[in-house]
Structure 1
Amino acid sequence: MLTMEKPLINQIYEAQERLESVVIQTPLVPSNILSGLKEGKIFFKLENLQRTGSFKIRGAYNKLAQLSPSEIERGVIAASAGNHAQGVALSAKILGIQARIFMPVTAPLTKIEATEKYGATVKLIGETFDETKQAALDESVITNEIFIPPYDDYAVIAGQGTIGLEILETIADVDQIILPIGGGGLIAGVATIAKTINPAIKIIGVQSYNVHGMLSSIWNQQITANRSNRTLADGCDVAIPGDITYRVLSPLIDETVLVEEEVIKQAIEYLAYKEKIVAEGAGALTAAAIMSGALDHLLINRKTVAVVSGGNIDSGSLKEII
């Protein structure tokens, strides 16, 4: 079993210092439309405006920046549907580390091209993220490269948790935070810092009906795979959640929501047209949860922050949806 050298909460504060000169403190903006419709105060945390177009650079850089000189010499390897790939690629470029990224053959072209543009070598392998991840792990054993986990790592979780610090520094009296879930790194990090600062804050997790490994695991109280089909939320297309993220998140999550693919489409369109926010499928999950009506009873008279986790959507896909 993997263990922490120091409490995760301490690692999140240290990550904030480490990332200060690297990442953007992204805007936290009100949604006047949804606030009116849902009779509460709703805000979007715009990680789609982060460097590389998603929150993933936070965890990737925090992990890479702590590698030893001997580990740096070995180079790094990662598996990703796209956003972690770009986060690792840019972080490696900044730190002068050689990086290789394995991506599913179904990965969006824009994410593949962006990863290569940041200087990493890309190999397309596997139909699903889980197949790609296993291929990268197998390769790392052969080549001795350092595998950079996309979510199941304390340093990665700590980097993502800095989003929670930024939210609370801006809206100290937030009542609840809605987060998308893939492998669980983002929600585990944000939940840890939010609940430490104010245990009364509700943590709400969202996944697609098509892929919801983490929520199935939460409900069954044990790691449970769940994937029936592809999802528009490709950044959250993770059938089996991480062991660490599952253990961290299980006692901290308060509410869970599953959304249909059609509602994710509607959320992408809504965000683009009404809120002027370009979001990929995973980034639109939180808006989809709000629009679905499943959270109406929780939104009334409360301050809610919905994290828009990324905006890396193919132009062709966006055109088709809207």
Structure 2
Amino acid sequence: MLDGGGAALGATLLQVAGRVDSPTPFTPFGGAGVSPMSYGAKGDGKSDDRAALLAAVSYAFDRGLPLDGGDKLYGVSDDLVIASKSRPWIVRLRLRNINSVHDSQILAFKDCEQVRIDSLYLDTGDIADVGDRESRSGLRIEGGSGHRVRQVEATGKGKGRYVFLRGCTDSDFEDIYVHDGLFHDQSIHNNDPRVFVEDDVVEGIRIDDCSNCRLIRPRVRDLLGNATYYTASGFVPGNYPASKVEAFPNMRTRGISGGGNDGVTILDPQISNVDQGIDLSGSGGNWGNKKVNVIGGRTFNCASVGVKYGGSQANAWSLATRRRTAGCLASSSAARPRH
């Protein structure tokens, strides 16, 4: 939520980061894109359409044509990996994971240049206990520059990262919306078997080792699971059996997190009902974060942390970043102990 002087300060920060204040408008696609239905896809969200999707992707991206899946929902049983393509363009695509496994990536771009996505929907599947935070994702974009990704919606069950951006440069990611996740985890606290889910297992949006990139209007809400933890009023230091434990479904989840970034702006984030709203203390290839700006937005109903900068490199944050974070990012975290 920007105050009266917020717009001017926001423009200043973006100018410092070397970016224009507003993205260049998209040029609508006026022709007929390549459809997976032309290659035998069923588009019913139940059948395995992976082979048809790969055929359509190969034909379209090898010829500089856009892929347009229309309003159909395509089931995929294994990863869709697009590697080393120039200007791959998805106009519309809706995907559902019908074979959730530990390390699945529904859609992954690796070392592509100028990825363009106009509209993408991802359903990670219906198995809540599959995967882990490090190895499973919905959309993954790794490497490359000049990406323009917008209108991405991700939901579904399981553990992992719904959207993972790594090693990208000079790119904009607009209107990413992650919501209604559900996980189940069997890990327990070393000192108290009543405390389930030992560490963070779900992330809405993860951004690592990126430079000169922007997350514009990201939204993450309701990432829930089976976590239990000590209450703030009922915790007895040094006496776990005497401490009170309750279910906190939104614990062990992160809305937006990342590390190793240099020159990343997060503009107007809206994060709610997760454990840690925005966690920029994570490690990456360069450790910590440098010149990461959070401008406007709101975090609320977070179990433990609204905005977290701990562990960043010294002098990594501009004064303006501190001012905007302190003045414009509201956090209503319930102060529960973390151990």
TM-score scaled to structure 2, two decimals?
A: 0.26
TM-score scaled to structure 1, two decimals?
A: 0.27
User: Max radius of gyration: which structure?
Assistant: 2
The structure that is helix-richer by fraction is 1
